[in-house]
Amino acid sequence: MRRHASHISRKRLGIAIGVVLAAALAVTAPVAADPVTSDNASAAQPAGRDAGSADGVKVEYFTGRDGHPRHTEVSSSSPLTRKEQATIKKDDGDVVPIVEAGASDAKVDVVFIGDGYTAAQQEDFHTDVRTKWKEMSAVEPYAEYQDLFNVWAVDAHSQDSGVSGDPTSDVTKNTALNSAFFCDGIERLLCVDTNKVEAYASKAADPDLVIVLGNSTKYGGAGYNDITSPSGYDGIGTASSDHPDSDQVAVHETGHSFGKLADEYWYDESTYTGPEPGESNLTKLSADEMAAQKAKWHRWLGQESPDGGTVGAYEGGGYHGHGLNRPTEDSIMRTLGREFNLPGREAMIAGFHQHAPVLTAVTPTDRQVRGSDRIRVEASSRAQVRWYVDGREARKARDASSVTPRRLGVPADGRAHTVTARATDPTKAVRDPKLRKSLTRSLSWQVTR
């Protein structure tokens, strides 16, 4: 089994010094639901996701495949005890590769942590991870971009098999992450202790997405979308391991973490009166106003969308029935079982490339390259690679991942020349010029022949 706790990559260098996982991130005991965020969104609420209060954390949950999600606030717990920290550090947390597409600092790293699996059931957990990832990666744009993802399973040994609240609220299990249905009194809300999740997730090299699989056939899950982890991931998703629809819960949550997408559902007939939302899939503008101002998803207006229907401006979203428009009638950001709409798919692809650049250097760019050396790069499978010597393209080397100065035509004059590799993902699914910047990357070397 591979262990990655000692590896530190450039992604972690972006985590601010002094970040501490506060007690507000842990969940062990239920509290009363917040009536505003659960069922009655007010006009004063933000258009997109809510943030937790000082003594709690907001979570998103799902009542059923055909139902729209809801939000509530759940209580927090104290940080881990020294004994808990020691147990996790010493006796638990092996990191098992499920899919290895490349180096962690050049790929999107999805980390699954199992809860309610005993030490003897870890192979069952690994099988469940493979099944769940197969289901998730069948959804576009995951299906087209599978080569961008590494998938890891982090073993967490529970004393009991199964999770609390399954099948009824009086069932209690002793598990590694304290997973429990009936959290906050809501049957389908599957909460976890996020301090413990952080302790296990940090054993992986560079977690970009963390999904907790509870060992259960019961439908349920949760999205902790507003937490910031010292390990670098943005949010936690929970899902039952053996319910056929739980993959949809996880995919919806990645719309928040990777695509930075807002929820496209609403609670009631309230009217949004705040500023223009920052999320790319909500707007106060009509279709005509978007077209005139060249704003938001104006490039997709009138296009047939993979989630069904035509891209336009459909009233309702961001928890409000009025005052906000969404791109299509019904996408996965509104109802489980749907597809990402065109603006959502665009945002997801750009989000993938934030973690997995289209081009990475195998040959370091900070060292001098000699005439006999090879220059190697790794590009995503869809990328078009072009090579240049002092700004002029070497056409014979198009789409090559390994070249020599001689093949590129670097002059044998003993002088330093600049060799550049540029890769671009040519997908037509991303039209926004700002988002397309993440789909192109250039690397350069100083070469003397």
Dmax (CA) of the chain:
80
Distances (CA, A) of 419 to 9, 361, 384: 25, 13, 17
- On average, the pLDDT of the chain sits at 86
66 pLDDT tier (thresholds 50, 70, 90): low
What is the per-residue pLDDT for 78? 64
- Contact (Cβ atoms closer than 8 angstroms) between residue 260 and residue 347: yes
Tell me which residue of 188, 251, 192, 176 sits closest to 221, measured CA to CA.
188
Q: Is 86 exposed, middle or buried (0-12, 13-18, 19+ CB in 10 A)?
A: exposed
- Contact (Cβ atoms closer than 8 angstroms) between residue 381 and residue 147: yes
What is the per-residue pLDDT for 82? 81
What is the per-residue pLDDT for 112? 97
Q: DSSP alpha helices (H): ranges in 395-439?
A: 405-408, 433-436
Q: 185 by DSSP, 3-state: which?
A: helix
77 pLDDT tier (thresholds 50, 70, 90): low
What is the per-residue pLDDT for 367? 87
What is the per-residue pLDDT for 56? 81
Q: Give per-residue pLDDT as tens, 138-158.
A: 999 999 999 999 999 999 999
Element (H, E) at 129: helix 122-136
Element (H, E) at 85: helix 82-91
Half-sphere exposure of 65 (CA within 13 A, CB side): 10
Asked whether the predicted pLDDT for residue 15 surpasses 90, the reply is: no
CA-based end-to-end distance of the chain: 44
Element (H, E) at 87: helix 82-91
The strand pairing partners of 238, in sequence order, are: 212, 222
Per DSSP, 443 falls in state E
Tell me which residue of 240, 440, 248 sits closest to 340, measured CA to CA.
248
40 pLDDT tier (thresholds 50, 70, 90): very low
Q: Give per-residue pLDDT as tens, 164-223.
A: 999 999 999 999 999 999 998 999 999 999 999 999 999 998 999 999 999 999 998 999
What is the per-residue pLDDT for 244? 85
* CA gap 50, 71 in Å, rounded: 9
Asked whether the predicted pLDDT for residue 361 surpasses 50, the reply is: yes
10-257: CATH superfamily: Collagenase (Catalytic Domain) (3.40.390.10)
* CA gap 65, 330 in Å, rounded: 13
Q: Give per-residue pLDDT as tens, 309-359.
A: 899 999 999 999 999 999 999 999 999 889 999 999 999 999 999 999 999
Cβ neighbours around 396 below 10 Å, total: 11
- In single-letter form, the type of residue at position 364 comes to P
What is the per-residue pLDDT for 62? 81
Q: Which residues contact 435 (CB under 8 A, 6 or more apart)?
A: 346, 347, 349, 350
- In single-letter form, the type of residue at position 444 comes to S
What is the per-residue pLDDT for 65? 61
* CA gap 177, 213 in Å, rounded: 10
Unique residue bearing structure tokens 């907790």:
212
**DSSP-derived secondary structure for 6-27:** T---HHHHTSPTT----GGG--
Mean pLDDT within 64-74: 77
What is the per-residue pLDDT for 352? 96
Q: Is 265 exposed, middle or buried (0-12, 13-18, 19+ CB in 10 A)?
A: buried
* CA gap 438, 353 in Å, rounded: 6
Tell me which residue of 375, 379, 364 sits closest to 441, measured CA to CA.
379
Distances (CA, A) of 347 to 217, 259, 330, 338, 357: 32, 5, 17, 16, 15
Q: Which residues contact 381 (CB under 8 A, 6 or more apart)?
A: 147
Cβ neighbours around 388 below 10 Å, total: 17
- Contact (Cβ atoms closer than 8 angstroms) between residue 409 and residue 393: no
Q: 128 by DSSP, 3-state: which?
A: helix
Per DSSP, 299 falls in state G
Domain parsing of the chain, residue ranges: 10-257, 359-448
User: Which is more confidently placed, 45 or 405?
Assistant: 405
Q: Sort strands 384-389 and 392-393 into parallel, antiparallel or unpaired.
A: antiparallel
* CA gap 42, 319 in Å, rounded: 8
The two domains 10-257 and 359-448 share their CATH topology (first three levels equal): no
Cβ neighbours around 299 below 10 Å, total: 17
Q: Give per-residue pLDDT as tens, 282-314.
A: 999 999 999 999 999 999 999 999 998 899 999
* CA gap 105, 77 in Å, rounded: 32
Q: Which CATH architecture has domain 359-448?
A: Sandwich (2.60)
Cβ neighbours around 364 below 10 Å, total: 9
